[in-house]
Amino acid sequence: MNSLWLAWLYLRRRRVAAGVMVAGVALALYLPLAAHWAADAFDKALGARAAATPMIVGARGSRFDLVLHGLYFRARSEGTVAHGEFTALRDAGHGRVIPLHVQFTAGGQPVVGTSLDYFEFRELQMARGESMALLGDCVLGANAAHELNLSPGDKLKTDRKNLFDLTGDYPLQLNVTGVLSATGTADDEGVFVDVKTAWIIAGHGHGHDESESNATNSPSAKLVKTHLEITPKNMGTFHFHDDTTALPLTAILVEPMDAKGTAMVLGRYQHSSQLQALKPPVVVNEMMGMVMRVRQFLDANYALVAGAMGMLLTLIVALSRRLRSREMETLFLLGCSRGTQFALQAAELLIVFAAALALALAAAWATVGWARDYLNTLAG
């Protein structure tokens, strides 16, 4: 204890040098700690959401893109699935089937066209307001509502895909009917609408302004327009150009009732050249396997850095002993044994390493805590 106290007093008198040593060691410890904790948090976040999503059906292509699209609404789907495929899966009775249409944004947040079953599937609860009920209604995730500063009763316009395309569809003004409770997942970022509303945003449907109709009420091509807002007055005039079975979805979530249902869905698309059925937990484990291999490479690099740091500290201690030789000799003449001198220097290193470890742990914990929401919601 006396050695620690004397070492502490010595380091206090040389705060700059001690601070530099603590910061250098802390930085060397912080990097591997933060990398490992961040990777573990990322693995946990991806794994939990994937485990809660038994199957995803979508266009054949990149498995990673399709899974991330279905889980996080970020990655672009390489193709579409006809709504008729959703109807066929639902009618087959293998389990719960949920449509997804994610192609647009509103205020920079993804517009998720789906059904009310999605809220039950993800166990989402309303914090304020009510769920979507009519065309043009939307429900905001907790983070989306905070970022856009919107509440039930407010309006939200969808974003244009191309600001320079003056001939394209006008943005649709959505009616915010509710805000979801925070879940710490990608659902916090979404703007949820009914699939039919998403199709209207995509230009697959339109309405007629009856005030501009001619006397015979026959719709002329130039009287047909895409409305900026769906109101009770014009809602009844909205219709779709094609049969709804041909309209597109970007993915379909499937929750089979049992193992037989899973096998039936997988077998349905096993030889399909256009569609594929994936198990998100399997795809995510494969993706995280790649991340872990990268982490192994980083671990080897950190080991080299730790070795270099150890050699540097050894050099510093050796130089310090030479610089403090007269000090050590004076202590010896005053009755301080060589063993006590060694104990003093060991105590100094112990204090430096303890302070550096505490600083590194605190910094790594703060980094992962700060990035946790980002890791949970942004993977695409």
Per-residue pLDDT tens digits for 183-220: 888 899 999 999 999 998 888 877 666 554 444 444 44
CA distance 55 to 52: 9
* Backbone angle region of 344, left / alpha / beta, with phi > 0 → left and psi within -120 to 50 → alpha: alpha
Nearest-5° Cα angle at 143, 139 to 145: 45
The whole-number pLDDT of residue 224 equals 47
Residues 68 and 380: beta-carbon distance below 8 Å: yes
pTM: predicted TM-score of the whole model, two decimal places: 0.74
The whole-number pLDDT of residue 165 equals 52
Q: How many CB atoms lie within 10 A of CB 369?
A: 11
Per-residue pLDDT tens digits for 244-293: 888 999 999 999 998 999 999 999 998 888 999 999 999 988 887 777 77
pLDDT of the chain, 380 residues: tens digit per residue? 577 777 777 777 778 878 888 888 888 888 888 888 887 777 777 788 888 899 999 999 888 889 989 998 876 777 899 999 999 999 998 899 999 999 999 999 999 999 999 999 999 999 999 999 889 999 999 999 999 999 999 999 998 776 555 444 678 899 999 999 998 888 999 999 999 999 988 888 776 665 544 444 444 444 444 447 787 888 777 778 778 888 999 999 999 998 999 999 999 998 888 999 999 999 988 887 777 777 777 777 777 877 877 787 777 777 776 766 676 667 666 666 666 666 777 788 888 889 989 999 998 888 887 766 565 544 44
CA 327 to chain centre: 57
The whole-number pLDDT of residue 222 equals 44
The whole-number pLDDT of residue 155 equals 93
CA distance 63 to 82: 19
> What residues contact 122, with CB distance under 8 A and at least 6 apart?
52, 183, 185, 187
CA nearest neighbour of 26 among 341, 353, 273? 353
